[in-house]
Structure 1
Amino acid sequence: MSTNTSPLEQRITRLEDVEAIRRLKALYCEVCDDDHNPDRIVSLFTEDGTWESTGSHGAHNGHGSIQSAFAGFRDLISFSQHNVTNLVVDVADDGKSAQGTWHFCGLLKHGDNEAFWALARYEETYRKSKGRWLIHHLRAVRLGYVPASGFEGFDA
């Protein structure tokens, strides 16, 4: 952060940065629940960004690869409801990068199969470019699946 700003201005900027990253993650969840929209997802990542999962989905580097991955998720997942909690974000002293962790619990359905609760932890890094925070590296650490037996209410 600039040495020309007061400590109060620096603290306010840091709070604004954390809020912007929280909103970025909310948009990420919205995109996932928007049928894993492959066109919208790339607007949330840096050009050289990475989306990866410790599960069978692997790592996808750059906008084209991330977009292709999300097109595949669109074909695989007929319903999703992403919920993230327990945000911890640390903004670097220079105000240009940050890292964060989130806990995820979401209801998913693959095609016509039974619904399940997916549990994961997101480990992420962010970069600020032209005043806007973007995801640089998202790593979804899969923790487990729990059947959602008897769940009804899907429109998909």
Structure 2
Amino acid sequence: MDLKARLTQLEDIEAIRQLKARYCEVCDANHDPDLILTLFTANGIWEGDGIGRHAGHQQIAALFRSFQKTISFSQHMVQNPIIAVDGNHATGRWYFFGLFTYYKGQQR
């Protein structure tokens, strides 16, 4: 891999790190549905164990509106990223630790 390709790969990895950080920031700022949609493509997918799969802006926004009704506080912390970039395709994995406070009667 030449120097230009290596630099592009590093820039892509950093852009993915920044995207994940912005995602956590939006979640911790009351799960704003309008802001979260700026981080997803129109056909994006949000999927979480125990919560399910939500495809497209309409479903993702509805999910985040439900979070606003149930979660009174959250602190998302992600670490140990493993990011692989191959041209226009990338994958990423993080360890996640989250602190959550729920409105009374709304625990998951």
Q: With the length of structure 1 as denominator, give the TM-score of the two structures.
A: 0.65
| Structure 2 SS opposite 1:47 | coil
1:77 corresponds in structure 2 to 71
The SS at the match of 1:99 is strand
Where structure 1 has 5 or more consecutive residues not aligned to the other structure, the ranges are 1-5, 116-156
Partner of 1:141: none
1:33 deviates by 0.3
Are residues 1:88 and 2:92 paired?
A: no
Q: Which 4+ residue blocks in structure 1 deviate beyond 3 angstroms? A: none
Amino acid at match of 1:79: F
1:101 shift after superposition: 0.2
Specify the SS of the correspondent of 1:82: strand
Q: Deviation per CA, 1:49-71, whole angstroms, max 9, x where unpaired?
A: 1101111x211100111001000
Q: Secondary structure at the match of 1:39?
A: helix
Once the 2 structures are TM-superposed, how far is the Cα of residue 20 of structure 1 from its aligned partner? 0.4
| 1:100 corresponds to | 92
RMSD: 1.5
CA distance in 2, matches of 1:91, 1:100: 9
Structure with the higher fraction of residues in helix conformation? 2
1:25 Cα shift?
Answer: 0.1
Larger radius of gyration: 1
SS of residue matched to 1:36 = coil
Match of 1:23 among 15, 18, 26: 18
Task: Tell me the distance in 1 between the aligned counterparts of 2:12 and 2:47.
Answer: 24
Per residue, is there more strand in 1 or in 2?
A: 1
Offset, 1:112: 3.9
Whichever residue aligns with residue 18 of structure 1, its letter is I
Matches within 5 A, 1:47-126: 47-55=42-50, 57-92=51-86, 94=87, 96-112=88-104
Q: Write the distance in 2 (CA, Å) between the matches of 1:32 and 1:8.
A: 36
Q: Percent identity?
A: 49
Q: CA deviation at 1:97?
A: 1.6
CA distance in 1, matches of 2:24, 2:12: 19
Q: In the aligned structure 1, how far is the partner of 2:58 from the partner of 2:104?
A: 29
Shift of 1:77: 0.3
